[in-house]
Amino acid sequence: FRDTILRPGDTLPVDDPVTEHKTATPKQHTKTKAILLMDGFCPYHGQYIAKAAHHIYGAAVIHVLSDFCTRYLYQVEEQTEHLSSRMPDLSNGDEVAAWTSLLPSSLDICGLYCESDSGLEDAENLGVVLGLYPRCHDGVNVARRDKFAMNDVVSKAGLDVVKQKSCQTLEEAEEFAKEMGLNDDASEATSGDVVNVPLVVVKPHRGVASDDVHLCTNMKSLRDAFTKIHSSPVFGSSTAAKHQSVLVQEFARGTEYAIDVVCRDGEKKVAAL
């Protein structure tokens, strides 16, 4: 689908309040604030943010698709009408220049928001390439996407985290699991036994929610989980990367709490518990 290149005269999908609201008269030489919205599909998430930016703040919204979503729609759903919204190939300077030349000069991009987990890495890199970092973009942060790095950052911040190991080989995984108390017992623990038996969690470094997350009760289940994850495709990768290591973690027992925190300009607010 990379043969479908945007050319001079093409347009990017932009919701421009100055164009749509004829009564709005922009000040002379004043640019319209704009945000880049990546993978904005959900009516109560990305689309809601787009409408709020549009109607409350008078901002234009530039819709862009991550490489992952573009490939999915094109190769799986066999759709082509979305191709004008795809992000440029960031490794191709000419394509990036052609893409940015299509952005209206009247817009001042002041932020980038990505709705999808799969597009997060693309959004980070696009923001850097467009020069948004550090003015209105916090750059590329592996810990936002890598579960091992995420735990490491949390630990360095002084919070308690589970013991973990990034294992490139099955032997490493087995050794660490034995340290956590896992044994070779072939029997499977029932749900009622979970509080009494040693357990480990096996998961990919890069994943989404609980996809491919395995609670292992013995060495056989650990081996099966490791084999399933190792060399499997990395979620959201635009380069067809494969998992070269597998994350094995201690199982934390107790009550689970989920906390939603919103941070702006260093000020933190707890939105939900």
pLDDT score for 239: 72
What are the residue ranges of helices labelled H in 58-116? Answer: 67-71, 93-101
pLDDT score for 86: 93
Tokens 């036994």, residue located: 193
pLDDT score for 109: 94
pLDDT score for 113: 93
User: Of 78, 76, 53, 77, which Cα lies nearest the Cα of 63?
Assistant: 53
User: Of 144, 127, 112, which Cα lies nearest the Cα of 37?
Assistant: 112
Q: What is the largest CA-CA distance in the chain?
A: 76
Each residue's pLDDT tens digit, 193-214: 566 789 999 999 998 888 999 9
pLDDT score for 146: 94
pLDDT score for 237: 79
- Are 270 and 259 spatial neighbours (Cβ–Cβ below 8 Å)? yes
CA distance 61 to 49: 10
pTM of the shown model = 0.80
pLDDT score for 226: 98
φ/ψ of 243, rounded to 5, equals -70, 120
pLDDT score for 48: 94
Q: What separation in angstroms does the CA of 118 have from each of 67, 69, 223?
A: 9, 8, 27
pLDDT score for 197: 85
At residue 35's C-alpha, the angle toward residues 30 and 40, to 5°, is 150
Return the sign of the alpha-carbon dihedral for residues 141, 147, 153, 154. positive
The parts of the chain modelled with pLDDT lower than 70 are: 1-12, 16-29, 185-195, 238
| Coil, strand or helix at 27 | coil
Each residue's pLDDT tens digit, 41-61: 999 999 999 999 989 999 999
Q: Which amino acid is present at 148?
A: F
